[in-house]
Amino acid sequence: MAQNLPIRFQEHLQLQNVGINVQQIGFATLTMESDKFICVREKVGETAQVIIIDLSDSGNPIRRPITADSAIMNPASKVIALKAGKSLQIFNIEMKSKMKAHQMVEDVTFWKWVNLNTIALVTETSVYHWSMEGDSQPQKVFDRHSSLAGCQIINYRADAPLKWLLLVGISAQQHRVAGHMQLYSVERKVSQPIEGHAAAFAQFRMPGNSEESTLFTFAVRGQAGGKLHVIEVGTPASGNQPFQKKAVDVFFPPEAQTDFPVAMQVSTKYDVIYLITKFGYIHLYDLETGTCIYMNRISGETIFVTAVHDLSSGIIGVNRKGQVLSVAVDEAAVVPYIANTLANPELALRMATRNNLSGAEELFVRKFNLLFTQGQYSEAAKAAAKAPKGILRTTETILRFQQVPTPPGQTSPLLQYFGILLESSQLNKHEALELCRPVLAQGKKQLIEKWLKEDKLECSEDLGELVKQVDPTLALSVFLRAGVPGKVIQCFAETGQFQKIILYAKKVNYTPDYVFLLRNVMRINPEQGTEFAKMMVADEEPLADLNQVVDVFMEMNMVQQCTSFLLDALKNNKPTEGHLQTRLLEMNLLTAPQVADAIMGNQMFTHYDKPHIAQLCEKAGLLQRALEHYTDIYDIKRAVVHTHMLNPDWLVNYFGSLSVEDSMECLRAMLQANIRQNLQVCVKIASKYHDQLTTASLIDLFESFKSFEGLFYFLGSIVNFSQETEVHFKYIQAACKTGQMKEVERICRESNCYDPERVKNFLKEAKLTDQLPLIIVCDRFDFVHDLVLYLYRNSLQKYIEIYVQKVNASRLPIVVGGLLDVDCSDDIIKNLVLSVRGPFSTDELVEEVEKRNR
């Protein structure tokens, strides 16, 4: 039979087993302000201490050497209030600090924590409240009523907002213990004396009321017997129906004639009053009706202190032997017990409905079927909606309502059913789906928006898919609430909220197929797709494989957007991303070479496949970039010959990076490929690097192509600074070959670095139309006699005249001697002498003639 009892009884602790002396277990020395702590004052000899038992760690009591008349622990934290005479102090045990202190004028006869921050102090005349906040001192709240004069105060109660206060005392009268209470209204500042032993306040919402009522329940055993009263205090809230007060008998067994109530607590979860008597009896009453649910003796000793047991929503207490006991409603057994043992199906249904308890399923089903059969669909809907644990909220119930025909102009029974459900609860997945189908069909999606805001629909993937057909944005709200990440992200993408995709995925720790998403976004909006792709790689670790992202761009032939993406994604120039750098340059070299040229010009990347890119550069006509990347001389020679496609200054500088051997090979290839086109730049290169390449090698190069023009311009750039005989000779030679007679004359006249004999012989052999260079050389280096002989024998007598008339008249004597040596006629000689206007030595002339016996 024990299994059928409507209560659960438990012994949590035996205080004597943790070292508490039985003599210290009593109303005067033990306090319990909540189900968290028990506090005991103990004195052994002259040594006083306070023992704190944390009920979550009862095997390790905390003992402190404290002398006090009373000690009470805060209901929730390790804060203790101590009283010694008129001195009050509050300490934080964990912080080891004093929080507050106060010296009372009157003795405090009783005190109690009324909430986490306030202590009630009761003196012989008044009641005070002392807040822990700030530096506030105890504030008087009301004077004690005369009916409590001389009573032992045993309890103090208050409602949650501290608007209703209650002082409880007892006194001996005519061989019995009389109970005296003072109920005080803070707002009205009015007291009411009441006969009673135990009491409590409770918040209770009556069926049909929108606001809770504040109820005051108390029990008394007077001369006429025991009574339990439940009344509403204060004015009912606006729109509320007043609570009908209840007064029921409290049964005391014949063997307990002097028994009386000593403690009362109310379960907020079950709306049940727990009443304990001095003789150890427990009574359970329904708060709403006052019906006695159960009564039995749970302790042979007096339970002198109690509190609400939060974990079970029951009552916990301590008896004089040190047992720490709790009693609570047994959820599984209480409704069947009321229905069967008490034979009170109405109360069973009421309690099951009100407190969502199982055990009355059969009663509810029977009631629902009866109402449905009678055609009372509205009442049947109410019965189904209010049935506990959702036992009637099934697909079968929905189907039954769907099958009922709707009278014209009236709301369908199905919608009535859902309407009743919406008033008091949230629709489950199936209900939400079946409600939204007709609502969307009627074009009333605003109702769904309203219900979502009010959290009236349990969202699911199916509901989201249904709503999505009408409104993707509203569907997104459903998917978010349903916690379907894949669908949420899909909706974000479809509604263009790409920036939210990544934030949401990180928040819910979900990894979508970003590449698939990107592909879909690209099809809808390429511009936003590009931004989305950039967001995917914004973090240190990209959210998708970059190769696959690039593939998506290329599938859409979006080279420009892909370029923008990769420039951003590859900005750190990592070695591991070399293949992507190659792809970036490759796609642009094939479609937009100038973009590739600009990228390479910025020198952002260094890890790509340089030989491959070099070949693509060459094919794209970017020969400069190709040459920057080529390392093989055969590739370089193939590209470098196209000088018309290269910046000349850049090309000249480029040769500075080549070896001597490679430079000579390239110059040779350039001249061989198109000497007319490439000669000028080859000359510039030769001029700049002649020290490294050697002048001799360069002269040989130009001569090998019989390019006297190239040789002339090359040597012309260095001859004025060179001391090499060969340079000067080859320059004279090249100038002669190219008809640059003024330069031949200049060098012959100014240079001191050529071999006169070699130059003289070359000029004679060259048979120039203008003999002035030869004249200059022979005049400078005393080859006048040879000059005269050469000119006369080659019938170039006019140059002999030019020589003595315009070049050097002083050489006339030697010239005349030479003419005499070649048997020139005397008339010609005489005429020549006579034609010379410049100064010459007559003595030398006479000497030259006399040498020849003329």
Residue 729 and residue 707 share a domain: no
Which band of pLDDT confidence, cut at 50, 70 and 90, is reported for residue 1? very low
- In the prediction, which pLDDT does 854 show? 65
Distance separating alpha carbons of residues 627 and 605, to the nearest angstrom: 17
Asked if the structure places residue 761 within a domain, the reply is yes
DSSP SS3 for 122: strand
Question: What's the pLDDT tens digit per position in 128-185?
Answer: 999 999 889 999 999 999 999 999 999 999 999 999 999 999 999 888 899 999 999 9
**Three-state DSSP state, 30:** strand
Residue 739 lies in a domain: yes
Element (DSSP H or E) covering residue 51: strand 47-54
Q: Copy the structure tokens of residue 479.
A: 């998917």
Boundary (domain end) residue, out of 217, 245, 273:
245
Helix (H) or strand (E) holding 171: strand 164-173
CB atoms < 10 A from the CB of 570, how many?
A: 21
How many domains does one find in the chain? 4
pLDDT at 2 over 50: no
**Do the Cβ atoms of 848 and 816 come closer than 8 Å?**
yes
Crossing angle (nearest 10°) for helices 812-821 and 826-835? 170
Residues 708, 734, single domain; the answer is: no
716 phi and psi angles, rounded to 5 deg:
-60, -30
pLDDT band at 814, cuts 50/70/90?
confident
Q: Is residue 539 part of a domain?
A: no
Asked if the model's pLDDT at residue 819 lies above 90, the reply is no
Distance CA 259, CA 177 (A): 9
Q: Are residues 732 and 824 in the same domain?
A: no
Query: Are 59 and 18 within 8 A, CB to CB?
Result: yes
Instruction: Dump the DSSP string for 572-607.
Output: T--GGGHHHHHHHHHHHHHH-HHHHHHHHHTT----
Q: Are 479 and 487 in contact (CB under 8 A)?
A: yes
**792, 813, 775, 751 alpha-carbon torsion, rounded to 10°:** 150
Q: How far apart are CA 71 and CA 73, in angstroms?
A: 7
Residue 431 falls inside a structural domain:
no
3-state secondary structure of 298: coil
Q: SS3 breakdown of the chain: % helix, strand, coil, rounded to 5?
A: 45, 20, 30
Residues 185 and 170 in one domain: yes
Quick check: 120 and 128 in contact, CB under 8 A?
yes
Note whether residue 163 is domain-resident: yes
Residue that terminates a domain, selected from 700, 717, 734: 717
Same-domain status, 730 and 704: no
The two structure tokens encoding residue 6: 């409507």
Q: What is the DSSP string of 432-448?
A: HHHHHHHHHHTT-HHHH
Dihedral of CA atoms 232, 233, 235, 241 in degrees, nearest 10, equals: -10
Point out the least confidently predicted range of 278-287, 306-315, 377-386, 606-615.
377-386
Q: Provide the phi-psi class of 416: left if phi over 0, else alpha when psi is between -120 and 50, else beta.
A: alpha
Q: Are 36 and 311 in contact (CB under 8 A)?
A: no
> How far is it, in rounded angstroms, from Cα 313 to Cα 42?
31
Phi-psi region of 163 (alpha: psi -120 to 50; beta: other; left: phi over 0): alpha
Q: How far apart are CA 264 and CA 218, in angstroms?
A: 8
Map 782-850 to HEC letters. CCHHHHHHHHHHCCCHHHHHHHHHHHCHHHHHHHHHHHHHCCCCHHHHHHHHHHCCCCCCHHHHHHHHH
Torsion of Cα atoms, 87 then 92 then 95 then 98, to 10°? -20
Mean pLDDT of the chain: 92
Instruction: Tell me which residue range forms the domain holding 818.
Output: 782-854
| Token digits of residue 17 | 């087993």
pLDDT in tens, 27-59: 999 999 999 999 999 988 888 999 999 999 999
Stated pTM of the model: 0.60
- CA 505 – CA 517 distance, rounded (Å): 13
Handedness of CA 444, 445, 446, 450 (dihedral sign): positive
Whether 331 shows a pLDDT value over 90: the answer reads: yes
- Average pLDDT (739-765) is 93
Phi first, then psi, for residue 477 (nearest 5°) are -60, -40
Rounded Cα distance between 279 and 260, Å, is 8
CA distances from 455 to 162, 297, 478, 492 (A): 32, 46, 11, 22
In this predicted structure, which of 139-148, 210-219, 552-561 has the lowest mean pLDDT? Answer: 552-561
Residues 163 and 207 in one domain: yes
Strand partners, 185: 164, 190
CA 384/CA 419 separation, integer angstroms: 12
Residues 256-271 have pLDDT tens digits of: 889 999 999 999 999 9
Whether residues 713 and 734 share a domain: the answer is: no
Give the β-pairing of 37-44 and 30-31: antiparallel
pLDDT band at 107 (very low <50, low <70, confident <90, very high): very high
Query: In this model, does residue 810 exceed pLDDT 50?
Result: yes
One domain for residues 724 and 682: no
Q: Are residues 154 and 193 in the same domain?
A: yes
Q: Is residue 705 located within the same domain as residue 733?
A: no
Phi-psi region of 618 (alpha: psi -120 to 50; beta: other; left: phi over 0): alpha
CA-to-CA distance for 50 and 756, rounded, in angstroms? 129
Q: What is the DSSP secondary structure assignment for residue 126, as one 8-state letter? A: E
pLDDT tens-digit readout, 424-472: 789 999 999 999 999 999 899 999 999 999 999 999 999 999 999 999 9
> Where does a domain end: 691, 717, 743?
717
Locate 660 and state its tokens: 């001597």
Instruction: Name the nearest CA neighbour of 219 among 227, 207, 211.
Output: 227
Q: Is residue 439 part of a domain?
A: no
pLDDT in tens, 692-748: 999 999 999 999 999 999 999 999 999 999 999 999 999 999 999 999 999 999 999
pLDDT at 262: 97
Judgement on whether residues 713 and 724 belong to the same structural domain of the protein: no
- Kindly state whether residues 713 and 650 are assigned to the same domain: yes
| Cβ proximity of 130 and 121 under 8 Å | yes
Is a pLDDT exceeding 80 seen at residue 125? Answer: yes
Average of per-residue pLDDT across 822-830: 82
Looking up tokens 């051997």, which residue turns up?
661
Residue 418 lies inside a defined structural domain of this protein: no
DSSP class of 339: I
In a domain, 89, yes or no: no
Query: Which pLDDT score is estimated for 517?
Result: 87
